[in-house]
Amino acid sequence: MPFFFFFSALAAAIGAQRISDAERPELNRDLALWQQKFGSDDDVRVAMASVKPYRDELLRRIRAAKEMLPSLQEANPHATFSHLTKFALLTDEEFARFAMVSARPLPERLSPATRTNPTALGGPVVKAVDWTKQSVCVPPVKTMGKCRSHWAIAAAAVVSSAHCLATGEAIDLSEQQVLSCTTPGGANGCRGGFATTGMKWLVSQPNSVCSRSAIPYVSGASGSVSICSDNSKCAGSISLQVGNVFEASGDDALVEQLQKQPVVAYVTTSNISWRLYAGGVISWCPAGYPDQPGGQAVLVVGYGTQDTGYGSAPIDFFKVRNAWGTNWGEAGDIRLARGDRHRGTCEVTTYLSYPTLQLPAAIRASMTPTTVDARSVDSVVTNDDASDETE
């Protein structure tokens, strides 16, 4: 029996059982803790909108999640899980509806180890990279809320990061603007979309993009997107220094590009590993709930190695920034094991995209070997070189 159906059948069987007097006190304490931490969370409200809040029903859900932990831990020995995560009280179907139901299938899966960027990266491989700690260029963790805006959040974040790494100017571009102005944005923006499309729209508007402070994110509360508004008020406030958008796939391609910048990936999230994840490295990621197409756009912000102890071999991982708020996972992030050189854990290496870094001519002219290290010099595309690129 496939793991997904095993876990689903187990949860259903456990959840249907009556709450005994012996277990009720502990489950009541667990429910009180969960409600105190997540009862007013926007994501939880969205995901549980159709759930009848009968106490015994909630207690059965907590018990079902709790009983799943041993099997889940065995499948993921380097991660930790909890029956008190923000999505723990959801069924598999409810969680899939929140995580994936609006995700669109990717336009075309890239073949393994593919790169559309004609420039070879080369050079030695750095042992570990974490852009969330190495610079101020990665925007903070966001929360989607009622809108399936993962694609716009990822697009705004990766372009913001690229601009900052090229210029030193930290910005946080408006995902609301991407939602409203990118096709298929507008009225359909909350039904999902492609981060690559959002990136290309941003790159095409280098002098007309807005910051998050200028156009705040409001679709998370409303669940809808207004038409693209006049962004003339932002004209000239940000001069984007990013180049063409490229695509890639494969473990090696992701590792090499992460030495230069964060990268957008699409991952499978509608499964129990993500629903009950509390920390550590995920090494087993089931396919997710049936009939859920595509994947969720996320920002891969680094890679590294975790010591597993007890004489076991260390485990390599990718660090991924999600859009489910800081009260999920490791302060909003998750780590996925490396090893599958083609698709990756949760398909993290299957479809990658990123904008190239592009130094302004003035900055390029002032560069000296003492102001920019070799890795930074190799990672940028100058204005003179940009015309030679092809998408």
Query: What digits encode the pLDDT tens for the residues 76-121?
Result: 999 999 999 999 999 888 888 888 644 455 555 554 445 555 444 5
List beta partners, residue 237.
none
Please give the Cα distance from 357 to 165 (Å, whole number).
7
CATH code of residue 269: 3.90.70.10
- pLDDT score at 53: 76
How confident is residue 199, by pLDDT bands cut at 50, 70 and 90? very high
DSSP state of 324: B
> Residue 70 belongs to what H/E stretch?
helix 55-75
Give pTM, 2 decimals.
0.84
SS3 366: helix
Task: State the chain's mean pLDDT as an integer.
Answer: 82
Q: What is the 3-state secondary structure (H, E, C) of 124-167?
A: CCCCCEEHHHHCCCCCCCCECCCCCCHHHHHHHHHHHHHHHHHH
Expressed as residue numbers, the domain containing 117 is 1-391
Query: What digits encode the pLDDT tens for the residues 250-295?
Result: 999 999 999 999 999 999 998 999 999 999 999 998 876 554 556 8
Residues 6+ apart with CB under 8 A from 110: 247, 248, 249, 350, 351
pLDDT at 175 over 90: yes
- pLDDT score at 389: 40
State the pairing for strand pair 263-267/242-248: unpaired
- pLDDT score at 360: 57
Is pLDDT larger for residue 343 or for residue 70? Answer: 70
Tell me, rounded to whole angstroms, the distance of Cα 76 from its chain centroid.
20
Share above pLDDT 90 across residues of the chain, in percent, rounded to a whole number = 55
State the pairing for strand pair 333-337/277-282: parallel
Domains in the chain, number: 1
Is pLDDT larger for residue 147 or for residue 374? Answer: 147
